[in-house]
Amino acid sequence: MVGRATQQVDAIHPATFIGKGKVEELRDLRYELAYDVAVFDDELSPRQMRNLEDALDVSVLDRTALILDIFAKHARTREGALQVELAQYEYRLPRLTRRWTHLSRQTVGGVGLRGPGETQLEVDRREIRRRITQLRSELEKVRAHRSLYRAQRKQEGLPVVAIVGYTNAGKSTLLNALSDADVLAEDRLFATLDPTTRRIKLPGGTEVLLTDTVGFIQKLPTSLVAAFRATLEETAEADLLLHVVDVAHRNALQQAQTVEQVLREIHAADRPVVTALNKIDLLPDPQAAIEVAARYPHGVAISAAKGLGLAQLMARLELALAGSMVRITVDIPYAENALVALFRRHGIVEREAFGPAGTRLEGFVPQRLVEAFAPYMV
């Protein structure tokens, strides 16, 4: 980045987003800074983008285009690539101009399929619409597959904990630390685009599925929310959310508020939440963490990279899950030892005793498993 300019305006200029004088100032800066791209930290309308490119004579990117470019570089799986491609096409369609380098097409229409005098621009628009329809159809199949996978997980009875947080807050590093996974964890925006799920065991022996998710960001483009619908549903249907906050970041509180806003938008705000105040090892001044922690009095201070506070975090997760479980006491005959294994695997055992006829267990089990233990309740 070779330069930065800001402007406070009472109203957005409909033609150029910023005022006429600011446009002239940016144009003059080209001779001084020799910049070749101008990036705007808001979404521009197609008209504004066209006018700015004409006035500045350089490529113009807005916030959405930049985020989409980053996503495109990081999409490693088929699903991720489909989601990013759909979002890119929906963003680009209304912004096609004669500057557009037309798309390479795999199919060519026959005689009579294209009207006389049809421009390359019109051909490209039709091709993009066709591709958008195709991508939506493929993603709907992905969504159906994910829904089936979630239904199978529910039958298993394992609680699902979804890790959420602002991009680059340390979610993948935390998943690796808690599960000995090998998920890509990098110090850059949107390193994770596809949800990754690992099975972990909490201190009391309860097994849970821990899912890493795509990072949120301030002013998340609506096209991305729509394209990543299948991925975001993983968050909305989790039993518990683990909100990771980068307390070493200067805008930690604002980032945390952004995550809460996105959770409301995807209808996941009603999920119980445990907050992990991450990267405490990077804090130059503990006062910065105190201000964030004041908003989350039940948060757990950790460093996923250094392994600090992870035992306390696991205990807090177990406590939060117990809050959504049912307390029961059962006497299970030795002939039904499969039920003892079910209790240990999906529930939280507080007391266990062996009698002449069977095993007595006291503790918590998920509501959906209560019926299985009903015949043996004390």
Q: What is the pLDDT of residues 204-250, one digit of tens each?
A: 777 888 888 777 776 766 666 665 665 676 777 788 899 999 988 88
Q: Are 347 and 365 in contact (CB under 8 A)?
A: yes
Torsion of CA 189, 298, 200, 321, to 10 degrees: -130
Q: How confident is the model at residue 182 (pLDDT cuts 50, 70, 90)?
A: low
Give the 3-state secondary structure of residue 30: helix
Residue 104: the pLDDT is 41
What CATH number does the domain containing 170 carry?
3.40.50.300
Domain count of the chain? 2
Residue 191: the pLDDT is 45
Among residues 322, 339, 366, which one ends one of the domains? 322
Do 255 and 269 lie in a common domain?
A: yes
Do 331 and 344 lie in a common domain?
A: yes
The mean pLDDT of 310-330, rounded to a whole number, is 88
Do 297 and 362 lie in a common domain?
A: no
Within-domain flag for 309: yes
Do 209 and 342 lie in a common domain?
A: no
Residue 58 CB partners (closer than 8 Å, separation 6+): 30, 35, 36, 37, 38
Do 225 and 342 lie in a common domain?
A: no
Q: What is the CA radius of gyration of the chain?
A: 26
Within-domain flag for 270: yes
Q: What is the pLDDT of residues 79-132, one digit of tens each?
A: 777 878 888 888 888 877 645 444 444 444 443 344 444 467 777 888 888 988
Least confident piece of the model among 42-51, 152-161, 197-206, 308-317: 152-161
Q: Is the pLDDT of residue 374 over 50?
A: yes
Which tokens is 330 given?
A: 């059962």
The mean pLDDT of 54-82, rounded to a whole number, is 82
Alpha-helical runs (H) found in the chain: 20-33, 46-56, 63-74, 78-92, 120-156, 171-179, 222-227, 229-236, 252-265, 286-295, 310-323, 337-346, 370-373
Residue 24: the pLDDT is 94
Do 306 and 206 lie in a common domain?
A: yes
Q: What is the pLDDT of residues 335-373, one digit of tens each?
A: 998 899 888 877 888 899 999 989 999 988 877 788 889
Residue 225: the pLDDT is 64
Q: What percent of the chain has pLDDT over 70?
A: 80
Residue 194: the pLDDT is 57
Q: What is the pLDDT of residues 124-169, one digit of tens each?
A: 888 888 988 998 888 788 777 766 766 666 656 678 899 998 888 8
Taking every pair of Cα atoms in the chain, the longest distance, rounded to a whole number of angstroms, is 91
Domain coverage including residue 345: 325-376
What CATH number does the domain containing 351 carry?
3.30.70
Residue 84: the pLDDT is 80
Do 162 and 295 lie in a common domain?
A: yes
Residue 83: the pLDDT is 78
Edge-to-edge strand ranges of the sheet holding 325-333: 325-333, 358-366, 348-354
Residue 51: the pLDDT is 92
Do 200 and 306 lie in a common domain?
A: yes
Q: Is the pLDDT of residue 190 over 60?
A: no
* CA–CA gap between residue 149 and residue 155 (Å, rounded): 10
Q: Is the pLDDT of residue 300 over 80?
A: yes
Residue 16: the pLDDT is 94
The mean pLDDT of 183-207, rounded to a whole number, is 66
Do 339 and 304 lie in a common domain?
A: no
Predicted TM-score (pTM) of the model is: 0.67
